Amino acid sequence: MNVPSFTSRFIESLPGDQLVANEPRQVRGALWSKAMPTPVSSPTLLAHSREVAEQLGLTEAQLKDPAFLSILAGNAPAPGVTPFAANYGGHQFGNWAGQLGDGRAIGLGELNGLELQLKGAGPTPYSRRGDGRAVLRSSIREFLCSEAMHHLGVPTTRALSLVLTGDRVMRDMFYDGHPAFEPGAIVCRVAPSFLRFGNFELPTSREDVALLRQLGAFTLQHYFPTFGPPSKEAFSQLLTEVAVRTARLMAHWQAVGFVHGVMNTDNMSILGLTIDYGPYGWVDNFDPSWTPNTTDAEQRRYRYGNQPAIGLWNIERLGIALLPLLEDDEALVEQALLAYQKTFELEGARRYTAKLGVTPRDETVELTYALFSFLSQQETDMTIFFRALGEVVTGAKPLAFPEVLLPAFYSPPTEATLRTGTDWLQLWWQRTREEDAAPSVIAQRMNAVNPKYVLRNYLAQEVIDSAQAGDASGVTQLLEVLRHPFDEQPGQERFAQKRPDWARSKPGCSALSCSS
Ligand code: AMP
Ligand code: MG
């Protein structure tokens, strides 16, 4: 077969590390290092995304060709480009962590203007004490969630393929001194760029303004060309644009109930994409204090309700990193922070009122907050509740609590819950009657923003359990359902149920560690 030739604007135009060795080290004066994938013993393609293949200009036959599978497994180099690992730093859990870099991600270069990156293909100069590998459970989670998010309309990196390596990887899943072998896997991620806030923070932390400027110029030229050539003004526009995109992304995460889990600045995309799927989770019962990440269980820095505030904090870190390019004009950072706040306020209100089928106005803010308070009163499934509102809106004004909403409760609702709920529903229902559209039209609009199918944590875990037992067909089956999250999909209702009791505290279903 003819494997298409790869290119790389990143390594062709930006300074790289001269040393070719995978030993962990501090890399200065360079934005990337050469990093050869380490071959694996017997790769199998478990799943792939046909839309991503299409975007890359790959046919189904090409993708499944053993020659291409070798590339996706790290057993053969992609033609045309030297594989590389990017050099970046980051703030982790609120503290500056210094150099991090792609410790287990290896860039293959671009096809059709999109970067391909193998996650789990072996060590790089940035692996520190890690092995550069990824386990099957985490790879399935990254593969499925990247695609699920895309089909929900949320900006995200994509996933082309999920490859089982045939090798085993040692992990201490709970960091409790019980390491065990797990099957290894590699996901090939795809995005226009994998640049993170941390790529900009690292050169600034080392006072390497020349390197920072090169990266800034590259970013403007290739990803934000409308801002013009490098200048104080252009970099200011860049910062504000990233702030706006990040604020929009946060509003979107909140609206679908996605909790990233590790919003460190090395996991924040300069393009405003969701990036680095680790111990993420989906809100089952609406609980603003919930985080899936056990590593963050005490501080809960990255809890559901705190994501918008963290997005802002992260933008401030990016702003500080860009200061040398802004001629140290702190007012420009302030301007970007204000743009973030304003965007989040508008976008948050827009997305939440759309979920309720009403036009944002002053009083809808109160309506939304009253709903948040009601949803937190007793464990109530966020996805089921909002989806069922689409049925309530077409009916008569609810005089009692509607039956279609009952499946949203995790335990029988109390009288008080039903009373508060009915009061809120009446207010909301009344408000929908002031809209310029017929109830059936409102219902359609609501169903187009309130997904029926999301990647519930326990659904991912069921697929993982089967795959670890040797049957990975569930990955593709679940992906098919998640490709149409807003459609009713008769016959697939079992993927739209609330978290079963067995999954309440099962590892992988409610609590995840960073060990992946
Ligand atoms: P994360 O929390 O997954 O965003 O990772 C934080 C840093 O640790 C990044 O620099 C990763 O590349 C690195 N890292 C995570 N897991 C591994 C691993 N198994 N081997 C090497 N580096 C890793
Ligand atoms: Mg990361």
The single-letter code of the amino acid at 504 is R
Percent of the chain with pLDDT over 70: 100
Place 499 in a pLDDT band, splitting at 50, 70 and 90. very high
CA distances from 301 to 297, 306, 314, 461 (A): 9, 7, 12, 24
Q: How far is the CA of 26 from the centre of ligand 1 (A)?
A: 15
pLDDT in tens, 2-16: 788 999 999 999 999
Place 1 in a pLDDT band, splitting at 50, 70 and 90. low
In whole angstroms, give the CA distance from residue 197 to residue 212. 12
pLDDT in tens, 22-71: 789 999 999 999 999 999 999 999 999 999 999 999 999 999 999 999 99
Ligand minimally distant from the alpha carbon of residue 92: 1
For ligand 1, residues with CB inside 6 Å are 100-104, 126-127, 130-133, 262, 266-267, 276, 278, 514
Q: How far is the CA of 101 from the centre of ligand 1 (A)?
A: 8
Strands 44-48 and 158-171: antiparallel
Ligand minimally distant from the alpha carbon of residue 35: 1
Q: 155 near 204, Cβ under 8 Å?
A: no
Examine the pLDDT at 465 and tell me if it is beyond 80.
Answer: yes
In 3D, which of 89, 114, 62 has the Cα closest to residue 196?
A: 89
Question: What is the per-residue pLDDT for 179?
Answer: 92
pLDDT in tens, 466-492: 999 999 999 999 999 999 999 999 999
Q: How far is the CA of 345 from the centre of ligand 2 (A)?
A: 28
In whole angstroms, give the CA distance from residue 364 to residue 341. 19
Sorted by where each begins, the domain ranges of the chain are 9-191, 197-353, 359-447, 457-503
Known active-site residue 296: no
Q: How far is the CA of 279 from the centre of ligand 1 (A)?
A: 12
Ligand minimally distant from the alpha carbon of residue 515: 1
Question: What is the per-residue pLDDT for 302?
Answer: 98
- Choose the residue to mutate in 25, 87, 96, 127 for probing ligand 1, maximizing ligand atoms within 8 Å of C-beta: 127
In 3D, which of 103, 64, 203, 6 has the Cα closest to residue 516?
A: 103
Average pLDDT over residues 350-373: 95
In whole angstroms, give the CA distance from residue 246 to residue 341. 10
Q: How many CA atoms lie within 13 A of 143 on its CB side?
A: 35
Closest CA to ligand 1's atom 13:
103
**Catalytic residue, candidates 65, 131, 176, 266:** 266
User: Is the pTM of the predicted complex or chain greater than 0.95?
Assistant: yes
Closest CA to ligand 1's atom 22:
103
Place 349 in a pLDDT band, splitting at 50, 70 and 90. very high
The single-letter code of the amino acid at 114 is L
